[in-house]
Structure 1
């Protein structure tokens, strides 16, 4: 699936706080979830909304997900239902 440049950049930024040795595996897992979210939405390419939704869904620790997303200036209001 094709990714928009800003979507790839956001995913890379969200991965930076993770330890280097787990980053590749975590990125692969989250990327798969993001693409699943995009496919379920009927999208032809991944946008930043798909990245945020996939990241939240895939995150085992929602508090860390919120911290990482806020650090990247992501408005979490549209995703409140996923953060419950």
Structure 2
């Protein structure tokens, strides 16, 4: 008395889906784990990211937060907060390293370009063109 054939055919896609699902989750968990590993200075990438966010938190205005929110719109909702944190950390790093006294649009755009993969730059260019912001100073970073 064996299993009906239809059950076996139902199980094969289910197992393939589960393998794909678990490996995708494992990939993202492993990336997060690596970012949490301490570097030579004793701090991890996540520690530095949090440091720069806390150091520059008071510099963000509501319109600058709205610009960042608009720039991360193409990111799926599930990952949007993480993307905002990563980008804000890079923006904060730029402000701190350049001794910026206030946060401006230039820092936000450069931080976004540096913190995101090239495939996301298309959305940035479209958004900036729609807002009529000159892209000339950022051409080198976008290449």
Taking structure 2 as the reference length, the TM-score comes to: 0.52
Question: Which structure has the highest helix share of the two?
Answer: 2
SS in 2 for 1:75: coil
User: Which TM-score applies when normalising by structure 1?
Assistant: 0.83
- Whose radius of gyration is greater, 1 or 2? 2
User: How far 1:13 sits from its partner (Å)?
Assistant: 0.9
Q: Is the 8 A contact 2:74 2:123 kept in 1?
A: no
The two structures, once aligned, show a CA RMSD in angstroms of 1.7
Question: Alignment length, in residue pairs?
Answer: 84
Corresponding residue of 2:125: 66
1:60-80 C-alpha deviation (Å, 9 max, x unpaired): 123344334434443211111
* Structure 1 residues not aligned, in runs of 5+: none
| Structure number with higher strand proportion | 1
Change in CA separation of 1:34 and 1:59 when aligned onto 2, cut-off 3 Å: same
